[in-house]
């Protein structure tokens, strides 16, 4: 039950059926936003795919390189996947806003104030991870992969990436880096909830280093370059999380001290 002594909680206590109706309405708005974003994205699928393919274009020597499709329907389904991928990013602000609008009335004022920074940091960190993957990791990895072109045993060894395989690789890079960059949000939420403390996380630092590179090995292609470029930022984000916890604890101690 809600504690009436705590300020800031919305006065309305709607029955369960009203909450379910509101949840359905929020979900319908989210789905509608996703559908509209998909319809817009499918019109510009070629242009969006052109942006996604730019790191590979830059990795090839000027005027060289090509994308192929080995199945007649592959190019069509690549456009569908590109549109769905873009639609998620376009519709995400609306979806997150609907989620916040559903959850916020059940929170106290201090809980809203504490939760809002995490809501803002989540898309910013995801974009930071995706940008790192797009602008630095993918061009570096693609140049490494294309370095195997040349003569082998008197035969020409040439890279002929397929459209579907390339799109899957790009999505793997973007999602892996975007999701992994949520580490500070996860750790700070666990710390705020009292599940873990800063001292516990400090004592787990050596295990975190191993876990970071193990996760990087699972989520990225099997090359050392990509794994290092994900593992090292994960360790840095872990240290940044510890620093934020230290600053938060210091601020609380100053407030509570007489």
Q: What is the pLDDT of residues 150-168, one digit of tens each?
A: 888 888 888 899 999 999 9
Q: What percent of the chain has pLDDT over 70?
A: 93
CA 56 to the chain's CA centroid: 21
Phi, psi of 9 (to 5 degrees): -80, 135
Q: Look up residue 134 and give its DSSP letter.
A: I
Distance CA 3, CA 1 (A): 6
pTM above 0.85, yes or no: no
Q: What share of the chain is helix, strand, coil (3-state, %, to 5)?
A: 75, 5, 20
118 in Cβ contact with 188 (< 8 Å): yes
Q: What is the pLDDT of residues 242-252, one digit of tens each?
A: 999 998 888 87
Q: What is the pLDDT of residues 83-119, one digit of tens each?
A: 999 999 999 989 988 888 888 777 777 777 777 788 8
Q: What is the pLDDT of residues 194-241, one digit of tens each?
A: 888 899 999 999 999 999 999 999 988 878 888 899 999 999 999 999
Token pair for 30: 């989210």
Phi, psi of 151 (to 5 degrees): -90, 130
Distance CA 134, CA 171 (A): 10
The SS3 call for residue 150 is strand
Task: Tell which wins on pLDDT, 63 or 146.
Answer: 146
Backbone CA torsion sign across 69, 75, 80, 82 = positive
List C-alpha distances in Å: 203 to 197, 200, 206, 246, 250: 10, 5, 8, 14, 19
* pLDDT grade for 1, boundaries at 50, 70 and 90: very low
């Amino acid at each position: 039950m809600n504690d009436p002594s705590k300020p800031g909680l919305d006065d309305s206590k709607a029955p369960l059926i009203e909450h379910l109706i509101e949840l359905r309405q929020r979900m319908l708005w989210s789905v509608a936003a996703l559908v509209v974003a998909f319809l817009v994205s499918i019109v510009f699928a070629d242009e969006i795919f052109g942006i996604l393919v730019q790191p590979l274009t830059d990795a090839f020597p000027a005027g060289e390189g090509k994308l192929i499709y080995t199945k007649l329907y592959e190019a069509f389904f690549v456009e569908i996947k590109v549109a769905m991928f873009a639609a998620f990013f376009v519709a995400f602000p609306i979806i997150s806003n609907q989620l916040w609008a559903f959850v916020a009335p059940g929170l106290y004022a201090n809980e809203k104030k504490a939760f809002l920074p995490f809501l803002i940091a989540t898309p910013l960190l995801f974009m930071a991870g995706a940008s790192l993957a797009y602008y630095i990791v993918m061009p570096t990895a693609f140049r490494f992969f294309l370095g195997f072109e040349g003569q082998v045993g008197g035969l020409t060894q040439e890279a002929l990436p397929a459209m579907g395989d390339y799109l899957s690789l790009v999505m793997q890079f973007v999602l892996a880096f975007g999701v992994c960059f949520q580490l500070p949000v996860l750790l700070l939420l666990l710390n705020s909830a009292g599940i873990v403390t800063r001292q516990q996380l400090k004592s787990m630092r050596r295990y975190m280093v191993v876990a970071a590179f193990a996760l990087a090995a699972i989520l990225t292609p099997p090359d050392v370059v990509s794994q290092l470029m994900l593992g090292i930022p994960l360790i840095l984000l872990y240290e940044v999380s510890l620093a934020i916890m230290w600053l938060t604890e210091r601020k609380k101690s100053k407030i509570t001290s007489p």
